[in-house]
Amino acid sequence: MGKTKILITCPKGISPYLKEEILRLEFPVKSDSVSWVETKGFMEDAMRLNLFLRTGHRVLYHIRDFNASNPEELYAEVKKIPWEDYLHEDGYVCITSSVKNPTISDTRYPNLKCKDAIADRMSEKFGRRPDSGPLRDRAVIHLYWEDKDCSIYIDTSGEPLSKRRYRKIPLGAPMQETLAAAVIMATEWSGEGNFINPMCGSGTLAIEAASIALNRPPGLLRDNFGFMHIRGFKEESWERLRENAKSSIKKRLDFRIIASDISSKAIETAKNNAETAGVAHLIEFYVCDFRETPVPEGGEIVILNPEYGERMGEEKALEDTYKGIGDFFKQRCKGYTGCIFTGSLNLAKKVGLKAKKRIQFFNGSIECRLLKYELYEGSRKA
C-alpha cells in the first residue's frame, strides 16, 4: 500500500497533545482540528502510530475521496474501489461512518450501502463475500460523508486506542486513558520527578504516568488491531516494531509515583489494573484520606481528580472537600505544582488559591478544567 494521508482522531480538545506526540514520533502534521490531526505515511507507519500514541483514538488510513449526492451514487463509487486489494474474501468487515448529508435521515443506511458495495465487488471477484456486522475486532472501514464530499478510510485501530487492555476492573466512572495521558502532558510533568495522585480511584492517572516514565508504548498490551485483518499485513514487521519498542523501555525509576484513596476497594482495583499494565512495582499505593497522602521532598506534580457534583445539590456537599484540597496544597505540597481536574469552576473557587493556568478539557460531554497552582516554598518573592 502506498503513502497516503493518515487521520488520527481524538476526544474533543485533546488535539494539541496528539499533535505534540505525532511530531515527537517524527511524523509531519499536515492539518488539525479540535478532534483530529492529519499526517502522512504508509501502512507500516499506521502500525507504529497505533503502538505509540497515548492521546489518539483511531488511526484512519486513507483509501479514496469522491463525490456522492445520494446513497445510490455512494454505492457506485464505493464499488469502484479495489476491495480485493484490502480485504479477505473469507474475513469479516465492520462499516462505521460520520455522515452529514441532506438525503440521509438514518445514518445506518450509508453503512448498509457501503457494505453492499463491498460485498458485491468481492462476490464478483471471488464468488464469495466477507461476513459483516457491528464488531470492530477485525477489519473496519470508515466512511466520512459531508454534503457531497466522501472519504473512505481503513480504521487500522479497530477498537479505540483508549482500550489499553489493563483496566480489567473499572470503578465508578473512571477517566478514559487517552484523557488521562493528555491531562498528564498538560501538567508539564517532566517524567523524571515525583508524581503524587491522591483520590486515585481505579489508578488510571498513576498507571499512565508510570507508562510514560518508563517509555512503555501504550499499545504493547493489545494483541488485536484493525490493520492485522487487512490483506498484506506483515506480521514480521509488526513483531520487529514491538521488539524494538520493548528494548527502549526503562527498567527502573529514580523518583516516586504515589497513589492513594480512602477506599480500600479502589486501591485494590488500582493495584490489579497496575499489575496488568506491568507497572505495579513502580507505584506506591496507600489507603488513606487524601490529606494523609505521603508527599516526599523534591517536588514535581500533585494531581487530584475529585468529584464535581454533576447533579443539582451535589456541589454544596463537596465544598469542604475542595477547601481541604487547598489546605493540603498549602500545608503539605510546597515546592510542587498542584493540579486539580474538575468539571465545576464553582467548586474550584473553594480551593482558596489562585490558579496559574486553567486548561480546558472535555470529559465526554462535560466541559472540565485542569487547574494548575504553583506551590512555592516560603513566599513567592523568595
pLDDT tens-digit profile, the chain (382 residues)? 789 999 999 999 899 999 999 999 999 999 999 999 999 999 999 999 999 999 999 999 999 999 999 999 999 999 999 999 999 999 999 999 999 999 998 989 999 999 999 999 999 999 999 999 999 999 999 999 999 999 999 999 999 999 998 987 667 667 899 999 999 999 999 999 999 999 999 999 999 999 999 999 999 999 999 999 999 999 999 999 999 999 999 988 999 999 999 999 999 999 999 999 999 999 999 999 999 999 999 999 999 999 987 654 577 889 999 999 999 999 999 999 999 999 999 999 999 999 999 999 999 888 999 999 999 875 444 3
Query: What's the chain look like in SS3?
Result: CCCEEEEEECCCCCHHHHHHHHHHCCCCCCEECCCEEEEEECHHHHHHHHHHCCCCCEEEEEEEEEECCCHHHHHHHHHHCCHHHCCCCCCEEEEEEEEECCCCCCCHHHHHHHHHHHHHHHHHHHCCCCEECCCCCCEEEEEEEECCEEEEEEECCCCCCCCCCCCCCCCCCCCCHHHHHHHHHHCCCCCCCEEEECCCCCCHHHHHHHHHHHCCCCCCCCCCCHHHHCCCCCHHHHHHHHHHHHHCCCCCCCCCEEEEECCHHHHHHHHHHHHHHCCHHHEEEEECCHHHCCCCCCCEEEEECCCCCCCCCHHHHHHHHHHHHHHHHHHHCCCCEEEEEECCHHHHHHHCCCCCEEEEEEECCEEEEEEEEECCCCCCCC
Calculate the dihedral angle through the C-alpha atoms of 189, 222, 21, 359, rounding to the nearest 10 degrees. Answer: -50
End-to-end CA distance of the chain: 60
- The predicted-structure confidence for 231-241, as pLDDT tens digits, reads as follows 999 999 999 99
Q: Give residue 170's pLDDT.
A: 64
User: What is the rounded distance in angstroms from the CA atom of residue 140 to the CA atom of residue 132?
Assistant: 10
Q: Give residue 98's pLDDT.
A: 94
* Residue recorded with cell 506480521: 235
**Domain 177-215+250-374 fold:** Rossmann fold (3.40.50)
Domain spanning 4-155, CATH architecture: 2-Layer Sandwich (3.30)
pTM metric for this prediction: 0.93
Q: Give residue 314's pLDDT.
A: 76
Q: Where are the domains of the chain?
A: 4-155, 177-215+250-374
- The predicted-structure confidence for 22-43, as pLDDT tens digits, reads as follows 999 999 999 999 999 999 999 9
Burial of 266 (0-12, 13-18, 19+ CB in 10 A): buried
